[in-house]
Every structure is written in C-alpha cells, then in structure tokens.
Chain A
Amino acid sequence: MDSAVPLFQMEGISKRYGGVRALEKAELVVTSGSIHAILGENGAGKSTLIKVMAGVVAPDEGRMTMDGREVTFLSPAAANQAGIVCIFQELSLVPDLSVADNIVISDPPKRFGMIDRKAQRRIAEEALARAGAADIHPLALVKDLPLSRRQMVEIAKALARKPRILILDEATSALTAADVSKIFSVLKRLRSEGLALLYISHRMNEIAELADQCTVFRNGRNVASYKAGSKSDNEVVELMIGREYSHIFPAKPAAVPAAAAPRLEARKLSWTDRLHNISLTVRAGEVVGLGGLDGQGQRELLLAFFGVLRGLSGEVLIDGKPVAIRSPSAAREDGIGMALIPEDRKTEGLMLPMTVRENLSFAALDRLSKGGIIDRAAEQRLIDDMVGLLAIKTAGLDIPVGALSGGNQQKVVIAKWLMRQPRIILLNDPTRGIDVGTKQELYQLMRKLADAGAAILFYSTDYDELIGCCDRVLVLYDGAVKRELVGAEITERALIASALNIHGEESPVGLGARA
C-alpha cells in the first residue's frame, strides 16, 4: 500500500442528535498494518464516530475517503462490502441462530440456491480457529453461550468477512483474561497481515500493549493524536478532561458524621458475573455517587437494591436490620421506603400514552385509596403539591405524558416516587438527555431531599455532576468498588483515573466500610 495515501480518512465529520452535537468536525486517519486506539470519556463521540464509519448512522457533513476515493455508506452492509467490519458489543448476533449461521450471516455460501450447510460449517470452523475459539461448537445456539463466548463468536464472525479495517468497540469488555491474551495475539497477527485495526477500549493497559497510534476524543472532536507510549497515563487523562462548562450546583452541607448509623447498607453483594462483593453504606442526609465508566455494574447494583435481581448473594440492611427485598413493590413498602428513578424513563419510568395525572399517582395509589377506591380529592392535593415543588411545566394534568419535554418527563418520574415520601432514593443517570436548566433544578431538589433526611444513591455518567452533587463517590470497575472518594478528593482527575483503574497519586482507600 502506498504510504502517501492512507487506507481510510475522515474529514470534517459532524453529527447532531436533536440539539446535542455528538461529533463536531472530527478527523481521523487510518493506515493499514497498524493498530489505532481511540480514547475518550463517556459521551466524547467515540461510538458515534465508529457508527459513521460502519454505515450505521449517516454524518450531517464531512467526507470519508478510502484508498483516496470518496465513499459513502448507506447501510452496514455497504460498509462491509467496502471492507469495514465493526465488532459491536454483542449487538450483532442473532440469538436464536447457531454459531455457524451467525458467522456466515451476511454472505452465506450457496449451492443450488440454498445455503450450503457443509461449506458453512467449514467456514465457521476456520473462523473460530482463527479467532482462537476452536472450543466453541459451530452448531451451538448463540443464546446458550455465556457472554465471553459470544464475544469470541463476534470476533470470528468479523474475521470471516475478510475485513480490511476491523473496528473493535470495547470488544474485550466481557472476556476472560485467557481470551484477551488469545485475542491479542490474533490482533497482532492481523496487523502483520496488513489490516488496519481500530481499537476502542477503556483499559489503558490493553492500549499500552496493543496500540501503535492513539487518538483522543473530547466533546465530539479529536483533540490529540500521538504515537503510543509517548505520553504518560496522567497526560492522557489530562487530554480526556478539559471540558469547560459549569453548572450551578447547590452548596454542600457539612459532611454527615461518619459515626451516624447507615440508612442503607450492602455487605458483600454479588450477582452472576456482574457484581462482585460490593459493600457500601448510605446515611440519611447523604448523597453518595456511583462513578466509573458505563456498564461497570452500577445499573445492576441499583436493580439489586430494588429487588429486581434474583439469585443475589450477600446482605442488604435497612436501618441496620437485614432485609430481603424480592420485588419493586416490596422495595417501596413503608418499612423500606425505597424509590428508583430509572435510566430509561420511556420504558421503565413512564407509561407514555397515559396522562400526567395517572403517571403521577401510579406508585402512590395504595396510599390514596380506601377499599380500592381512589380518593380523588387527596390525589389532587398531592399532585398539586408535586407539580408545584418540581415546577413541572405541563399544559394540564390530563394530557399524555409523552407530550412533555424530556426534562419535564423526568420530573414526572421523580415526582411519582416523591409522592410516597421515600426514605431511600436510587437514581440511575437521571439527567441523561435533559436540558441544563432542568438539570440544575434536579441538583437542587436532590440536595433538598437529602437535607430533609433521605438517603440518596446517585449513579451518573457525567463526572461534573458527581463532583458537584455528591458527598462521597464510589467508583465501580468490573462490578466491584475500586475506590471511594470523599469530599475534596472528588476531582475529575481522580474520577477518571479510578474509572480507568489506573492509580493516580492518591492511594486507594478502604472500600466502603467506613461506618
């Protein structure tokens, strides 16, 4: 390949989703025979970038060239055709088909117009062997495989398509250490065969071992490109930070004394392979943050408290007494008084076609009714209180909640739970996709509720929020609490460093059990 013309190049690529800019004039140069790492924190634009490359989304502006010729991809199939294959995180396997069916799915071998099963089997076995996963049976159904095996099938499937550019998006996140080392040797071999590999990972040690070239993204732009190994971990973190926007966060009160009895406590909580020995405490009046990269078990931890997960091991204590919460309706009972503000308000928080009024009173109906009949007057009083407290902007209580703006929808979700006066509030990334003004109101509200005596556990993917709102932050990595930051220790640098599981200048403190 002529080194003057890069294999693939992106110039001035921009992409907006509604008012949010995901990519802003992004540039990227990919050369064959190298492994290129893409770094950036949550929401920096990495995933949009690869979706554009893989033909999943169309950019609003900018151009892409391959071998110097301009290309546009209208679908993933078109990108595949051009030799760009992306391994998404377990997104592209069809669960009810066999491993072999999945590996050849884009272009099955044919004989007399029908799929040639013998040839398919052969191709699948070759691809699995190439991916170092010959232990997977080609006839097994994908849905019966554990996550780590599925990921290997994804990789085999990508290899069977004979890519020129292979994109790995967090492809190792579900793999065991043994698989990771196998994959690494496969990737290095592919590089020597002249492929270009784009490697997106949050694991700095993997990037150090693999990458030739690194590009850092921040706020939808590529902010730096450098030869791998030419910058220290701290410098890289520095590049990833550096956003400049400020929220008005409410002032934090003096810390709740560490001696105070915890309202909510977890002891050695574990669940399948997603949560490992999590211990933590939240006291009344405290806002405790859950930090870390997306998908490190934060969501599962909140669901575990809320009684959604089965087969949980370890103990949950409320006010010092062990409890077994077996369903969300048990979690909201008076003795426990828990509320969960879910991440996806559209499916888990609201019934969109139903009215604001109905949505508001769902969680509190048992309190508002006598003998199964709803006390309309009491309902109205409570709803009026909530609409006033949260300043919900709605044209009326009897319009469908789906007609409200995202921020006001989220307020309805929160108000719905506040109507029960919860003592423990779990928040799962509640400000995602809502406007700055509403965000500020939510921060104020959170603090107000804590001051009124609630214990709050708050997961956010936005580091500024964790810094601005929380008294303490627990950073999760791979389903375990890796670090606890208290008070002034909560800085962006410390959050990112511990989210990436690299040790900054401060040494890690004892995990959670400070009470």
Chain B
Amino acid sequence: MKDWRYWLAEQRGTLLALGIFIVMFIIYTSNHPAGFTANVVQTAANKGVLLAFVAMAQTLVVITAGIDLSVGMIFLLTNCLASWLVVGTPMQTTLGVIAVLAVGLLCGAINGAIVIYGRLQPIVATIATGAVFYGIGLLLRPFPGGSVNEDLADAMTGRVFDVVPASLVALFAIVLVIWVPFSRSVLGRAAYAAGSSETAAYMSGVPIRRGKFAAYTLAGLLAAIGGLFLTFFTYTGDAAYASGNAYTLFSIAAVVLGGVSLFGGKGSAIGAIFGALAFRTIGDLLFVFDFDPLWQPLFQGVILLIAVSLGAFALFRVRNRLEWFL
C-alpha cells in the first residue's frame, strides 16, 4: 500500500466527521432564510466553537481511555471567574485571562492527580471534582451577572476582514498551539499508548503517568478557553447547572461523532471539532425547517445513534465471541 492510503485510514474518523458536518451545514445554510452569508456563518461558528473547545478537552482524556465528566463544570467555573476578572484596562484584562486559564489548568491537574496517583476511576473522580468545580462557580456567581472587557469580547466574536469569524480563527490558533504540539510530542504519544494498551506501554518503558497527567491538565486548559469564549459571547457569568451538564454530555457525543474511540488510543481532536460542529448544526437544522424545538433532543439523539452505529460494524468481523466483551 502507498503512504497516502495509510494516512487516509488513520484519518477516516476525522474525514467522516468532516463529511457529516459539510453535508449538514449545506442543508442548514441552503434552507436558512438568509442563506450562506457571513452573518449566518458567524453565528453558527460562535455557537459551534464553544462545544468544539469542550470536545477537544474531552478528546485528550478519552484518548487515554478515560473520561472527563467535569469538563462542562470547568467550563462554567471559568465562565464565572472570567466575569469577575476579565475586565478593566488592557493590562488588567490580560492578567485576568491568564488567571482564568491558570485555574483551568489547575482543575485539569487536580483531575489528573486524582485519577493517576489516587488510582480512582476517571468516571467517579470527575463526577466528584465536577461537583466541586460547579460549587465554586456557584459561590462566585450565585446569580447570573458580572461583565467582561467588551472590546476584547467583540473582537473575539466578530469577523476578521469582515469575512472570517474571529472565533474560528481563535479555534484554529488553539489547535496549532495546543493540539498539534501535544499530538506530536512524546507525552502525546504516551497518552495514546496508555489508552490503547497500558500493559504494552508499560512494558515498553513509555512515560504513561506523565502522558496521562498532561492529557488531563491540557483538558482543563481547553475547557477554560471554552469558558472564556462563553463569557465573550454572553458578557456575563452564569453558573447554570443544566448547561454545564449538557456541555459534558454533548462533548462525549461530539467526540464519538468525530471518530475518537471511547476505548482509548484512537482519534484526534480535529475529528472531535468537526464532530462538535456537526452536532451543533444538527441541532439547528430543526429551526430552519420550522419544526417545533421540542423535537430537538429526540432528533439529535437519533442522528447520534446512527453515527455511532457506523463504528460498530467492525464487530461483525470478530471470530471469537469473547472478544466482543474486551
């Protein structure tokens, strides 16, 4: 086989998610009353990138064969924090942004430390830490409120050269600065190896613990970037429990749509980004078709089931039935 075919096989999940997204987005814009205009794209992008950041965060943890049920709560906590700190002069605003991101890193590092060194199962550990993060967010913002540096917020949610949504540019930059170096570093490879086969990775002398710790920590950072953008869009901080939970669950859906295996070791954050954008678009399709919004969860669920079933076909090739359960 030629090199490009291996590349294609590796990127299959990502390309499939990209395909789903493009198809859905074409259906969406062609039925949108305003059509394919810079405004429509900007609005869609601004909604999509929030989930995209949280899904990227989830991807990092899922690659290690873990799961992070606190990403939505880190997203809320950093939103509440940003509504206090990201204000004032440019200098103060910059410090505020740094502080918010640092808190995200810290949240992720706490998750990582508990899972790796405390040897708790990721699902339990992150439910607990998620509740703690939410609790802190609620103390910061018992009621929705606060404000944000509006110059920065408008710049991040506006358009570059009046065409490209700034939020997409930011997403692209984050991929370049965080995901690409991580996926090509020794730590990134350790995260993949640990997720695929922890024993094999251990036997090969891979730095499993550091790799997993990096994954959890960066996940906290990415969720915080999401929280920051949420503040830019809403101009307020709001510890809305339901919204945090929805982001956690949607991030898992987006990750699966994006071809990231929940068993670990496989997939990329870029796939998860397209998964997130596709998932958002599916949700919005109902509006352009004038359906009752009450149908949205049901519709999203059905689409998700269909997408996930595509990945299950491999089971038909299993020859030893005991492998179904591995």
Asked whether A97 lies within 8 Å of B6 as measured between CB atoms, the reply is no
Interface residues of A in 119-142 (CB under 8 A from B): 137, 139-141
Provide the residues of chain A in CB contact with B193, threshold 8 Å.
94, 97, 105
For B9, list chain A residues within 8 Å (CB).
141
Hey, which chain B residues are within 8 Å of A309, CB to CB? 319-321
How far apart are the CA atoms of A437 and B222 in the complex, in Å?
Answer: 59
Choice from B184, B204, B321 contacting A310 with Cβ under 8 Å: B321
Complex interface: chain A residues within 8 A of B184 (CB): 114-115, 117
Closest to B198 in A: A94
B228 to chain A, nearest CB (A): 26
| In the complex, B116 has a CB within 8 A of chain A | no
Query: Which residues of chain B are within 8 angstroms of A56 by Cβ–Cβ distance?
Result: 203
Q: Do B3 and A139 touch (CB < 8 A)?
A: yes
Query: Which chain A residues border B318 with CB–CB below 8 Å?
Result: 310
Given contacts A113-B181, A310-B318, A310-B321, whether A94 and B205 have CB atoms under 8 Å apart is no
CA distance A80 to B207 in the complex (A): 14
Bound together, the chains give a CA A110 to CA B186 distance in angstroms of 8
When C-beta atoms are compared, the residue in chain B nearest to A99 turns out to be: B6
Inside 8 A of B3's CB, which chain A residues have their CB? 139
In the complex, what residues of A have CB within 8 A of residue B206's CB? Answer: 105-106
Which of chain A's residues has its CB closest to B318's CB? A310
Q: How far is the CA of A310 from the CA of B205 in the complex (A)?
A: 36
In the complex, chain A residues whose CB is within 8 Å of the CB of B205: 75-77, 80, 105-106
User: Any chain B CB within 8 A of the CB of A384?
Assistant: no
Nearest Cβ on chain A to B264's Cβ, whole angstroms:
8
Residues B185 and A94 in contact, CB atoms below 8 Å apart: no
Indicate if the CB atoms of B204 and A92 lie closer than 8 Å: yes
Shortest Cβ distance from A346 into chain B, in angstroms? 14
Alpha-carbon gap, A396 to B211, bound state (A): 46
Please give, as numbers and ranges, the residues of chain B lying within 8 Å of A105 by CB-CB distance: 189, 193, 201, 204-206
Residue of A nearest to B6 (CB): A139
Of A77, A95, A97, A348, most B-chain CB atoms within 10 Å: A97
* B266 lies within 8 A of A96 (CB): yes
Determine the distance from Cα of A91 to Cα of B199 in the docked complex, in whole angstroms. Answer: 8
Q: Check A272/B192 contact, CB under 8 A, given A91-B199, A106-B204, A140-B6.
A: no
Interface string of B4-32 (1 = CB under 8 A from A): 00110110000000000000000000000
Given the known inter-chain contacts A95-B197, A105-B193, A114-B181, please indicate yes or no for A88 contacting B321, CB distance below 8 A: no
Cα A218 to Cα B85 in complex, Å, equals: 71
A141 to chain B, nearest CB (A): 7
B196 interfacial by beta-carbon distance below 8 Å: yes
In the bound complex, do residue B321 and residue A113 qualify as a contact, i.e. CB atoms below 8 Å apart? no
Decide yes or no whether B1 CB sits under 8 A from chain A: yes
B123 at the interface (CB under 8 A from A): no
Is A469's CB within 8 Å of the partner chain B? no
A265 to B313, CA, bound (A): 34
> Nearest Cβ distance between residue B181 and chain A, in whole angstroms?
6
Evaluate contact between B265 and A272: CB separation under 8 angstroms. Answer: no
- Which residue from chain B places its CB closest to the CB of A111 in the assembled complex? B184
Residue of B whose beta carbon sits closest to that of A157: B204
Q: Which of A76, A95, A348 contacts B203 (CB 8 A)?
A: A76
Known: A94-B193, A94-B201, A106-B204. 9 other contacts (CB 8 A): A93-B197, A95-B200, A97-B196, A105-B193, A108-B189, A113-B181, A115-B189, A310-B318, A327-B321
> What would be 7 A-B contacts, judged by CB atoms less than 8 Å apart?
A76-B202, A76-B203, A93-B200, A98-B10, A101-B189, A271-B319, A309-B319
Q: Interface on B for A, CB 8 Å cutoff?
A: 1, 3, 6-7, 9-10, 181, 184-186, 189, 192-193, 195-197, 199-206, 261, 264-266, 318-322
Binding site for B on A (CB under 8 A): 56, 75-77, 80, 88, 91-98, 101-102, 105-106, 108, 110, 113-115, 117, 137, 139-141, 157, 271-272, 300, 303, 307-311, 327, 348
